[in-house]
Amino acid sequence: MQNSQVPPTAIDKSVTPSIIAAKQINYTNFEETKKVATFKVKVPKKIPQGYHLTQLQHMRPDLPNIPETVHNDTVSAIYSNGQNQFTIIQGYFSGGDVPKGPQGSMEGTADVSGVKAKWVEGSWAIVKEPTLGDPSSQKEWRTEPLRLGWYKDNLGYSILTDGLKLRDLVDIANSLE
């Protein structure tokens, strides 16, 4: 009698990975996103000089049998000055979690509207993707972007940048209304 179980070290090639699609809709102003989001969208009142809104997007996972009223959406806003940019993401996601860098990486906390936000300078980048033949992967720490993340009222918030300082991100975060 054969054992039909797949050994824990083998890869079951009969299983097809699931890919979750997302409905992404671009908007031209925050008033439009406020009408479709399932949360109160906050708008930054303080933007660094020279930066302007270049992209505004509402995103919701396209899950079967899940009503549109389920709270699982986000709004992202990208601002640019032509050379650098920053992105504000808010909504139902893990925005308050920032990656933990290797020992010696620049990281800490900051006060954002009375809550403790975490920040880190850098992120992990996958330099070798796992495959069916080789499930191992490799990642390395890169010193960009600078990321500030926090939770408030059950929502996640994150601001990422490749050209601003931490003080700028904290000022933007504290200006969200």
Total domains, the chain? 1
Helices (H) then strands (E): counts for the chain: 2, 8
Over residues 42-68, the mean pLDDT reads 87
Domain with residue 53: its CATH number is 3.30.200.100
pLDDT in tens, 79-131: 999 999 999 999 998 877 887 888 888 999 999 999 999 999 988 788 878 78
124 in a structural domain: no
Residue at 8: amino acid letter: P
pLDDT in tens, 159-173: 999 999 999 999 999
Distances (CA, A) of 111 to 19, 50, 133, 170: 37, 25, 46, 8
60 in a structural domain: yes
170 in a structural domain: yes
Domain that holds residue 57: 22-97+145-174
87 in a structural domain: yes
113 in a structural domain: no
Alpha-carbon 117 to chain mean position: 15
Gap between the Cα atoms of 170 and 166, Å rounded: 6
163 in a structural domain: yes
Let me know: does 41 contact 73? Beta carbons within 8 Å.
no
**Residue 32 main-chain phi, psi, to 5 deg:** -65, -40
2 in a structural domain: no
* Burial tier of 121 (Cβ tally within 10 Å: 0-12, 13-18, 19+): middle
134 in a structural domain: no
